[in-house]
Amino acid sequence: MYHWEWQDIELEFWTPREFKYPEMMAVVQLRFMDELRRRCGFPLHNNGDGRLDRDMLRIYPELTLATMPDSAHWVRGPSPENRVRDCQANDIEPEGRGILPDAEFNRRMGILAQKALELKNEDSFPDVGVELADRHVHVDTFVDRVRARRPWYWVGKSR
């Protein structure tokens, strides 16, 4: 078990070291990530969690903070004062890209997507959003400001 000091919870699979901003993570998202990992049965890799303003500008250099589309990852603000525990989004993939044989990696990517979609239908996580992208699966657990403008699953392209 791994202790998450900011949230004061224990997770079975995920350690804070696997996150860029572990202190910004919401408890519901961490519990979702742990359950998803359990159901997959193989290690997952976290490619992205919370994003400060500077992270958004790095990912979308062609945009400004004013013109950027909203994101469930975006914990708005320039500084650590904004690091409240309300990030409810992760971009993940099976561990082992470039190490596992392609066929096995792709099989696991399919299982990951399937398990994420399945969890939406369960009472514990009724507000899951899932993006099936070419190089990751995005999962979030209800971010109020983006909920109204999107379906609960969609396809996308990794940046």
Residues that bind Zn ion (CB under 5 A): 91, 138
Nearest to 128 by CA among 136, 139, 137: 139
Q: Which is nearer to Zn ion, 115 or 138 (CB)?
A: 138
Q: Closest separation between CB of residue 3 and Zn ion, Å?
A: 26
Q: What are phi and psi for residue 75, nearest 5 degrees?
A: -95, 95
Q: Closest separation between CB of residue 91 and Zn ion, Å?
A: 4
- Give the three-class secondary structure for 97: coil
Q: What is the DSSP string of 130-148?
A: EEEESS-EEEEE--HHHHT
Q: Closest separation between CB of residue 117 and Zn ion, Å?
A: 15
Q: Which is nearer to Zn ion, 37 or 138 (CB)?
A: 138
Q: Which is nearer to Zn ion, 7 or 90 (CB)?
A: 90
CA–CA dist 45, 47 (Å, integer): 6
Q: Which is nearer to Zn ion, 51 or 83 (CB)?
A: 51
Take residue 67 and report the two structure tokens written for it. Answer: 């013109």
Q: Within 13-64, where are the H helices?
A: 27-40, 53-59
Residue with tokens 């070419």: 134
Q: Which is nearer to Zn ion, 35 or 131 (CB)?
A: 131
Q: Closest separation between CB of residue 66 and Zn ion, Å?
A: 21
Q: Closest separation between CB of residue 88 and Zn ion, Å?
A: 11
Q: Which residue's Cβ lies closest to Zn ion?
A: 138
